[in-house]
Chains A and B, each alone.
Chain A
Amino acid sequence: MTDRRAVTLECTVNGRKVAVKTPPMRRLLDVLREELGLTGTKYGCGEGECGACSVLMDGAVVLACLVPACQAEGTEIVTVEGLDRDGVLSPVQQAFLDHGGAQCGICTPGMVMAAEAYLRGGGSDDEAAIREALAGNLCRCTGYAKILESVAAAVRARAGEDRS
């Protein structure tokens, strides 16, 4: 009989295939941070309220604190560490840097991942649409104006790249 209290989670994280032996109900967040050393994904509230642990799972933004390891099996995970290309920041990362989108930084990886999902989904620079895309992410520094500015800038930067 298969072990009900341990699984070998096989999935792709930031383009790399991984296999991690773990209790099946362990949070993806803990697997990423503690087993894979990917501490960019933050533990904020642990109950789906703050968005600090946002990652992409099969292209959709999800909360790593609410995904058990057994449900990440066979998926493709992207964390904030997986956005740059050989050290060149992604448009979203660069825009947060350029526009002061980070203050204390705890919410930033989650904000960046939610914004990344928004850009990948073809989002526009419309402020209301960006606000909805980031509605699941809290910034306790209340630096929202700069964050919205950053995402809008990333959208425009991407549009520029598409034209070039």
Chain B
Amino acid sequence: MTGGGAVGSLEVVTPRSLEEALRFLAGHANEGWIPLAGGTDLLVLLDKGAAPGTRWLNLAALRSELDRIDHEDGLWRVGGLTTMTGLRRRRAGDTAFPGIVAEAAAVVGGLQIQNRATVAGNIANASPAGDTLPVWAVLEAEIVLASRQGERRVPYHRFHRGYREIDREGDELIVELNFRMPQGGRTFFHKVGTRAAQAVSKVVLAGWVKTSGGRFAAVRLAAGSVAPVPVRLRETETALTGAAVAPEAVEEALEALARDIRPIDDVRSTAAYRTAVTRNLLRHYLLA
């Protein structure tokens, strides 16, 4: 892709505000306009000639409205154009902000990617390997979509409907993701990739567990790269809840994992490896 040619045929509209963007989309909902946030996934596709369309809605000017993190009565409201760096900075300056979110943001590419990649972009790109996605699943986040009709709220676990399929209408933009930190317990996050930075994950795991009297009182687990969409490990959660925090009981509960995940062999790893590593990581963090 150089000066002329294909790139010269691409159309871009640059609204100056969210209101203007939504008005534009309302009038052009079925024309395939692709919201362009940080572009860190979409420009790769464009370079390969695999972009999902030729019409781009440049959201750069919406940053003043959508690059923000608010905290009200325990509810964290993260604007859709908040970058991975923005998430990490918030945690660095405010320990109330959940560390697990910053941990996930820190493994998205290198700093160059983190400075551009956004919360909404990572969700909308809908890669089964998206690094932040298991964290949103564990936090039971809510996605707020806006259109000229108003706002629509979708629980995170219903947003990814199938492989790279999302619950977004052509006239909507993801404007916010919000969540509450569950009370007490502890969180964990782990990404397994070929190297520490820049790698697409083989397995990415997030969890929150609360124990009481030597037993698992509440468990939330989610994993990426082990199914067509990032998945909550609900069968495993159920098997663990009430089980003793002990090697044998955990091992028995982890038998349920096979019903939660559907890993495949691909260029990055094998189904067998992904299954084994997910199980090993869970064992490690559950008994930590």
A binds B: yes
Say if the beta carbon of A38 comes within 8 Å of chain B: no
* Chain A: CB-nearest residue to B47: A46
Give the interface segment out of A58-66, A97-105, A155-163: A58-66
Closest A residue by C-beta to B197 = A135
Q: Name A43's closest neighbour in chain B (CB-CB).
A: B2
Decide: B112 and A48 in contact? CB cutoff 8 A.
yes
Given known contacts A23-B8, A25-B46, A62 and B116 CB-to-CB distance under 8 angstroms: yes
If A26-B7, A30-B1, A47-B47 touch, whether A61 touches B112 (CB-CB below 8 Å) is yes
Q: Which residues of B contact A (CB under 8 A)?
A: 1-4, 7-14, 36, 39-40, 43-44, 46-48, 56, 58, 60, 85, 109-113, 115-116, 196-198
What is the total of A-B residue contacts with beta carbons within 8 Å? 114
Residue of A nearest to B61 (CB): A73
Do residues B112 and A54 form an inter-chain contact, with CB atoms below 8 A?
Answer: yes
Which A residues are CB-close (under 8 A) to B109? Answer: 48, 136
A30→B3 contact, CB < 8 A: yes
Q: Does the CB pair A70–B58 fall under 8 Å? A: yes
Listed in ascending order, the chain A residues whose CB lies under 8 Å from chain B are 4-7, 22-27, 30, 34-35, 46-49, 51, 54, 60-63, 65-68, 70-71, 73, 114, 117, 132-133, 135-138
Inter-subunit contact B10/A25 (CB<8 Å): yes
In angstroms, Cα B280 to Cα A123, docked, is 36
Contact: B8 with A27, CB < 8 Å?
no
| A6 / chain B contacts, CB cutoff of 8 Å | 8
A5 contact from B3, B8, B60, B196, Cβ within 8 A? B8
Q: Report the separation of the CA atoms of residues A51 and B201 in the bound assembly, to the nearest whole angstrom.
A: 19
A-B contact pairs, 11 of them (CB 8 A): A4-B12, A23-B7, A24-B14, A24-B58, A30-B1, A48-B43, A60-B115, A63-B113, A67-B116, A117-B111, A135-B197
B37 CB to closest chain A CB, in angstroms? Answer: 9
Say whether A5 contacts B9, CB under 8 Å: yes
Nearest-neighbour CB distance to chain A for B129, whole angstroms, equals 15
Is B115's CB under 8 angstroms from A25's CB?
no
Q: How far is the CB of B63 from chain A (nearest CB, A)?
A: 10
Q: In the complex where A26-B7, A136-B197 touch, is A71 in contact with B112 (Cβ < 8 A)?
A: no
Residues on the A chain within 8 Å of B116, using CB: 62-63, 66-67
Closest 9 CB pairs of A and B: A136-B110, A135-B197, A24-B12, A4-B11, A25-B10, A60-B115, A66-B43, A47-B44, A23-B8
